[in-house]
Structure 1
Amino acid sequence: MTLSSPSARAVDLRVEPVDNVLDHVERSLQVELDRDTVVRKRRSVGARTDRRTWIRIERRGLDKVDVQGWNGTECAARLEGIAQPTWRGCVVWRDADEPVMWRADETELLPSAPIGNAILSEDPKLEDAWWQAFNASLDALAAQHTGRVATPDTVTITQALVTESIRSLSPTDDFDTTVERWVPAHADLNWANMTAPTFSPFDWEDWGNAPRGLDSASLWGSSLAVPALADRVRHERRHDFESRDGKLMTLFACSKILGPDAHPQDPRLEPARRMAEQVIAELQAG
């Protein structure tokens, strides 16, 4: 018999009252949060502490609480060769009124400020040293081993999901969508989750095994409104993009941009369409 958890109501933590949650974290971790530094995102809240650390608080429905992402920051602490803030500890509790779990992870402060929004509209003008550190961390991550599976957008990535997403772009085209190589990936790599001028990726809750090239393709998709930046991502990660799996992940990224919820004024639409057509032609040609 399979036990199922009730679904939690959809909540946007950018507007949901969270004072009680912040109070709970302070009591549990014996820390004082600087309320003037609170950063609120759709599914997480963060703030500085009086001991010069950062606490990230996440709300997740019971139906979404499992090994696939819930303890990502904690599990990422054992990764080697990755630039990331040191993890200090956490507190986890079940909501008394809803089918929801809360988790607060405490880490060292970021070495620099986040680069920008998830999708950039201006070139951040990153130094060569930043790109070198970026490449070193992504290569080190892909060389490690984990039993976790990546959950981009909190959805477990599977072969079926990859195939379905790619077929949404080319329902009549016939080419093999089978992924050959699965490697550890951050799975939420965008410009809001990396710092500069010192490179450091953060928000590791979704990391795990994914098709090779997922991170590279995701970052490229987040860069398409700045053509020179998108080209730089493809150049720096060309060994990913030139691989067959990398081409599949390029189509996977394009499917997210060109999906039914796409905004007609999104400047990424046309370059994503062009790239999808080019990559589909390459895959069909073998």
Structure 2
Amino acid sequence: MTLSVPSARAVDLRLEPVDDVLSRVERSLQVRIDRDTVIRKRRSVGGRTDRNTWVRTERRSFERVETQGSNGPETAAVLRGVAMPRWQTGLTWRDENEPVMWRADETELVNEPPVGQAALVIEDPRLPDTWWAGLDALAAQHTPRVATPDTQSMTQELVDLTIRQVFPEVPDLTADEWTPAHADLTWANVLGPELCIIDWEDWGMAPRGLDAATLWGNALAVPALADRVWAERRPDLESRSGRLMALFFCAKIMGPYAHESDPRLEPARKQAARLVT
């Protein structure tokens, strides 16, 4: 008999109390986290420590742990030539009350700011040429991990379901190239003007072009930047799998949870029409 993994309640750590979680991390790692520096996101909370490092703590359901584990930042530490904070140590514990695992990772403190304060950008950050060149290193790596964009395991089935619910007329959605991807390469997870990529919990194998499509799609409200992303990442985005990933991202913007106030929505509709054609 196969036992199902219990489901955890949906939680937004921007709204939930996290003092007890941070206190536990401090005791276990023997650090003090400066509460004035704490950044809270939907699935994680991080802050600067008294030994000049950064500690990021993530809440992950048993369902996600079963499919991918909970040690993304630790496994990413072995990647070669990829611009990221140097990983130092980690801590994992099981929640006493919910089917949830907590994971804290202590890394090098990086002083470069995020390119965007949220997933998308509303103005051109005018990044230098060297910044774009640094994005090539990840795809040359190897991993058995499966990427989990938006917490969903990246499979051919997910590609089919996501695109077909918006663009049922596309006949063949087979992604023919798969490469390692960060899988959450939003403008909030890339730093600049010197490139550094943070938040590695979702990385793994995905169709070629997923990361490029994520940067491009989250730049659609700034046409000049979206054009720059496409030009810089053209080999990825103009591959068969890359065009599918661009359409995959447009489908997410235009799908069941679309918001008319989303500044990416109208540009996504226009780009999707081009991609479908």
Indicate whether the TM-score tops 0.5.
Answer: yes
Work out whether residues 93 and 102 of structure 1, in 8 Å CA contact, stay in contact via their aligned partners in 2. yes
Work out whether residues 164 and 170 of structure 2, in 8 Å CA contact, stay in contact via their aligned partners in 1. no
SS at match of 2:218: helix
Pairing 1:275–2:276 present: no
SS at match of 2:137: helix
Distance 1:67 1:6 in 2: 13
Which residue does the alignment assign to 1:221?
A: 217
Q: Give, as a single letter, the amino acid of the residue that structure 2 aligns with 1:9.
A: R
Which residue does the alignment assign to 1:119?
A: 120
Q: 1:3 Cα shift?
A: 2.2
Q: 1:36 Cα shift?
A: 1.0
Which residue does the alignment assign to 2:189?
A: 193
Which residue does the alignment assign to 1:146?
A: 143
Work out whether residues 257 and 272 of structure 1, in 8 Å CA contact, stay in contact via their aligned partners in 2. yes
Which residue does the alignment assign to 2:70?
A: 70
Which residue does the alignment assign to 1:258?
A: 254
Q: Which runs of 4+ in 1 moved over 3 A?
A: none
Which residue does the alignment assign to 1:284?
A: none
Work out whether residues 34 and 50 of structure 1, in 8 Å CA contact, stay in contact via their aligned partners in 2. yes
Work out whether residues 111 and 198 of structure 1, in 8 Å CA contact, stay in contact via their aligned partners in 2. no
What are the Cα deviations for residues 120-160 of structure 1, in whole angstroms up to 9, with x where unaligned?
11111212222233xxxx32211111000000011001101
SS at match of 1:184: strand
Distance 1:183 1:111 in 2: 29
Work out whether residues 67 and 148 of structure 1, in 8 Å CA contact, stay in contact via their aligned partners in 2. no
Which residue does the alignment assign to 1:17?
A: 17
Specify every segment of 5 or more residues in structure 1 that has no aligned partner in the other structure, as ranges. 282-286
Q: 1:97 Cα shift?
A: 1.6
Which residue does the alignment assign to 1:31?
A: 31
Identity of aligned residues (%): 64
Q: Give, as a single letter, the amino acid of the residue that structure 1 aligns with 2:172.
A: D
Distance 1:165 1:98 in 2: 30
SS at match of 2:125: coil
Distance 1:165 1:82 in 2: 29
Q: Give, as a single letter, the amino acid of the residue that structure 2 aligns with 1:157.
A: M
Q: Relative to structure 1, is the Cα distance of residues 29 and 227 closer, same or farther in structure 2, using a 3 angstrom cutoff?
A: same
1:135-174 paired onto structure 2 within 5 Å: 138-171=135-168, 173-174=169-170
Distance 2:187 2:170 in 1: 34
Distance 1:212 1:131 in 2: 17
What are the Cα deviations for residues 170-211 of structure 1, in whole angstroms up to 9, with x where unaligned?
22x242111111110000001000101111011000000000
SS at match of 1:223: coil
Q: Relative to structure 1, is the Cα distance of residues 206 and 38 closer, same or farther in structure 2, using a 3 angstrom cutoff?
A: same
Distance 1:27 1:20 in 2: 11
| TM-score (ref. length: structure 1) | 0.93
Q: Relative to structure 1, is the Cα distance of residues 83 and 67 closer, same or farther in structure 2, using a 3 angstrom cutoff?
A: farther
Specify every segment of 5 or more residues in structure 2 that has no aligned partner in the other structure, as ranges. none
Distance 2:95 2:207 in 1: 35
SS at match of 1:3: coil
Work out whether residues 120 and 222 of structure 1, in 8 Å CA contact, stay in contact via their aligned partners in 2. yes
Q: Give, as a single letter, the amino acid of the residue that structure 2 aligns with 1:162.
A: V
Work out whether residues 170 and 276 of structure 2, in 8 Å CA contact, stay in contact via their aligned partners in 1. no
Distance 1:110 1:67 in 2: 30
Q: 1:168 Cα shift?
A: 1.8
SS at match of 2:24: helix
Q: 1:69 Cα shift?
A: 5.7
Which residue does the alignment assign to 1:50?
A: 50
Work out whether residues 73 and 204 of structure 1, in 8 Å CA contact, stay in contact via their aligned partners in 2. yes
Q: 1:66 Cα shift?
A: 3.1
Work out whether residues 69 and 151 of structure 1, in 8 Å CA contact, stay in contact via their aligned partners in 2. no
